[in-house]
Amino acid sequence: MAYIGKTPTVGNFQKCDALTASATADYTLQVGSSNVSPESVNHMIVSLNGVIQSPTTAYTVSGATLSFASALTTSDTIDFVILLGNVLDIGTPSDDTVGAAQIKDDLISGTTALAVAPADTDEFLVSDAGTLKRIDYSLIKGGGKVGQVVQTVKTDNFSTTSTSMVDITGFSVSITPSATSSEILVLVNVGMIANSAAWGVFINLLRDTTNITSSSASGAADTNDAWNVVGGGGTTLDNRKYSSPNISYLDSPSSTSSLTYKCQLMVGGTSTGYVNQWGVNTDHASVSTITAIEVLA
């Protein structure tokens, strides 16, 4: 490119701190007591004993280390080391001549694909009335979407005479939320009956060991301690009230650890509680399900 007058000087010219020759070939280059690394061995001027040295043959450079071809002695004098910086001015590239190989990975190039869902703090570029601005993913991602669904189907029978809450065998579901902001919608459908006209059967829903659907976990035969209650009713076992209660609970665990949702059962007084069984006739069995749905924030 032609200029009127003197051609502009391009580069970051620096004179290194004084070096004292000794019985070694390697010397650390510094400017203002801080290490400096030349662009290459050809971007330096090194004077030794009053003679400008030939790059590559008389000396090499690696990072901030200048290495002479052979060890010096205390009688040698390193006159100066000048760093030329980048003296190659390529000017403005022509249109469509810069490719991905010429762009550093930490620049916005689009050459690297994001293999997972963006984090909330990941940034996108948007045009705001013609001005490019950064925006966090958390501000533009959609909420309320289903992240995952897991379900357990119980087809066998279960019974208990316990007057305190006990786990229903084989009736739990585990889920690992993808974010602490996720909520878990738990849906329970369970068929149960009591064999006493005077006493009922009670059911609870727990997250791990935490009772999340009742006021306490004392195990007392109290409707305040259970999510759902099925009474006895009827004078014979086959006439007892059979119920298929539904539990719908939206939980906010604030966790990304594996969580287990399960149901517990108890009876009141001298009674037996049954799951998936119609009276004492096991041929009349039902099916119970527990489903956990991750709802993304």
Residues 6+ apart with CB under 8 A from 10: 86, 87, 88, 89
- Residue pLDDT, tens place only, 89-119: 556 677 777 777 777 766 776 777 888 888 8
Average pLDDT over all residues of the chain: 82
Answer yes or no: is pLDDT of 14 > 70. Answer: yes
Contact between 196 and 274 under an 8 Å Cβ cutoff? The reply is no
Three-class secondary structure of residue 26 per DSSP: strand
212: number of Cβ within 10 Å: 17
Domains of the chain: 14-83 (no CATH), 146-295 (2.60.120.1340)
Please tell me the distance from the alpha carbon of residue 170 to that of residue 155, in angstroms, as a whole number: 9
pLDDT band per the 50, 70, 90 thresholds, residue 194? confident
Return the minimum-mean-pLDDT range out of 51-65, 97-111, 209-223: 209-223
Where is pLDDT greater, at 106 or 294?
294
CB distance 168 to 158 below 8 Å: yes
Beta bridge partners of 90: none
Determine the pLDDT at residue 85: 74
Contact criterion met (CB below 8 Å) for 262 and 290: yes
Place of tokens 């801080």: 34
CA distance 257 to 274: 32
More confident residue, 118 or 175: 175
Stretch 29-37: mean pLDDT: 93
User: Residue 262: what pLDDT?
Assistant: 96
Query: Is pLDDT larger for residue 297 or for residue 284?
Result: 297
More confident residue, 62 or 193: 62
